[in-house]
Amino acid sequence: MSETVTGAQEADAAAAVPRADAPKSKRKLMMAGAAGLVLLIGGGVFWEKDKIFTSKLKQNVGSKAAAAMHPPILLGIPPMVSNLDTSGGHPVYVKLTAKVEINGVPNEAALQDRIAEIQDVFQTYLHETRPQDIRGNGIYRLRESILRRLRAQLAPLQVTNLYLVEFLVQ
């Protein structure tokens, strides 16, 4: 009898001690679940790959076809004279002639009513500019800033470039 009591006590002691196999089985279960999830996602991508890649290809072909149908238009901006911000000193004037390259318009006549809007962007920026801002490579910064403002102002149209044809500071 003592053996059975001792055997029962040993069984209780063995049950109280955690088995080393339990964490390994949980780890295996988690790894199997992660592998299943990866396979499921990979299968979904494989199944839908034609829809994903062909839609991107169609978009690229469509934009190239639209660009071929409507080549970029160089819109000439009439010469304008503007004064710079001199903070109370003697006035400094800028004479500027520019061309704006715009995509997405069938012809130049469609842009004629937007010339005043484009001139307003130029005038507004030039009135905020100080004479020392356009020295050195400041003309490049001026061009980039005006180009950024034109892109925001003419949003559905694509302003691709700005050419400063004449730039005179007096």
Give the tens place of pLDDT for each residue, 85-131. Answer: 887 778 889 999 999 998 888 888 888 888 999 999 999 998 888 88
Percent share of the chain, pLDDT over 90: 25
Structure tokens at 70: 């409507």
Q: Average the pLDDT over 7-31 and give the result.
A: 66
Tell whether 102 is covered by a domain.
yes
Residue 150: Cβ-neighbour burial (10 angstroms; 0-12, 13-18, 19+): buried
Let me know whether 80 and 142 are in one domain: yes
- Owning domain of residue 39: 29-69
Structure tokens at 51: 């829809």
Let me know whether 51 and 133 are in one domain: no
Structure tokens at 111: 């842009």
Alpha carbon distances (Å) from 143 to 9, 139, 151, 163: 89, 6, 12, 8
Apex 63 CA angle, 68 and 59, nearest 5: 150
Tell whether 8 is covered by a domain.
no
Look-up of token digits 């679940």 = 33
Tell whether 22 is covered by a domain.
no
Let me know whether 64 and 122 are in one domain: no
As a residue count, the chain comes to 170
More confident residue, 47 or 144: 144
